[in-house]
Amino acid sequence: MSVRRLAATAPLGVALAALLVPQTATAEPGPPNEPELTPSYLTSTVVEGSLEGTPGNRHQIVVDRSQRDTVDGWVRSWSCPEGATVTMTWASSSCTYRLTQDLRSQYGTSADEWLSSTGRSATVSAPNLVGVNRDTGYVRRLPLELTFVAGQDATLTQEVSSYTYSPARVRGEIGGARYADSDGYVGYRVVSG
């Protein structure tokens, strides 16, 4: 082989060698993190009958997971004669006020929650939910199981800050008392990814 021919193939050999040498990877920014959708719900109802360990036979109940990362709310209980009316904003004068409890998650445990991909339905299971008597601090277990369903034609149009809601029907139970197809709201809160 002549020197000329070797000199002509040298640049080709250098180019092939350069292709075989591993390239150092430069970190390119990946796709931005997807925002996380956190379940958000609110319901209020009046439950008649017994509520686990709570005096009274009519209970105004609010369950809320819209402003915090935990389930909270309250229960206001009344003793009423048969036929007496209690709404969320009013109790018959024949009823006797018994107590108000704040709903809290015991031991800092969180609820098990599921939110549909459309944000129109959700379930919440809070077996460690308790009611804390506002006057005495006495704690009662009030386990919670609720299902929120807005329906297929519901639109999530009611925006409040970074929350999006839709009216929903709610069923389930709290402290052994049945939620009988109550009104509520279901949706989601956007958390930056």
Asked if residue 115 is part of any domain, the answer here is yes
Structure tokens at 181: 């197809």
Q: Which of 5-14, 90-99, 109-118, 152-161 has the lowest mean pLDDT?
A: 5-14
The answer to whether residue 19 is domain-embedded is no
Domain annotation covers residue 154: yes
Q: Is residue 25 part of a domain?
A: no
Can you tell me the distance from the alpha carbon of 102 to that of 162, in angstroms, rounded to the nearest whole number?
26
Cα separation, 123 vs 148, in Å, equals 6
What is the domain count for the chain? Answer: 1
pLDDT exceeds cutoff 70 at 85: yes
pLDDT of residue 150: 86
Note the pLDDT tens digit of each residue in 50-84: 999 899 999 999 998 866 678 889 999 999 999 99
pLDDT of residue 167: 86
Q: What pLDDT score does 3 carry?
A: 41
CB atoms inside a 10 Å sphere around CB 80: 17
| Identity of residue 122 | A
State in Å, rounded, how far the first CA of the chain is from the last one.
Answer: 64
Residue 28: inside a domain, yes or no? no
Structural domain range at position 81: 33-191
Q: DSSP assignment of the chain, as one string?
A: --HHHHHHHHHHHHHHHHHHSPPPPP----PPPPPEEEEEEEEEEEEES-BTTBS-SEEEEEEEESSSSS-EEEEEEEE--TT--B-SS-B-TTSEEEEEEEEEEGGGPPPEEEE-TTSSEEEEEETTEEEEETTT--EEE--EEEEEE--TT----EEETTEEEEEEEEEEEETTEEEEEEEEEEEEEEE--
Other beta carbons within 10 angstroms of residue 30's beta carbon come to 6
Is the residue at 24 inside a domain? no
**Does 103 fall in a domain?**
yes
Q: What is the pLDDT of residue 18?
A: 41
For residue range 101-134, what is the model confidence (pLDDT) as tens digits? 999 988 877 888 888 887 788 999 999 999 999 9
- pLDDT confidence bin for 145, thresholds 50/70/90: very high
The answer to the question of residue 172 being in a domain is yes
Query: Contact 78/57 with Cβ under 8 angstroms?
Result: yes
Q: What is the C-alpha to C-alpha distance for residues 1 and 149, in angstroms, rounded to an integer? A: 84
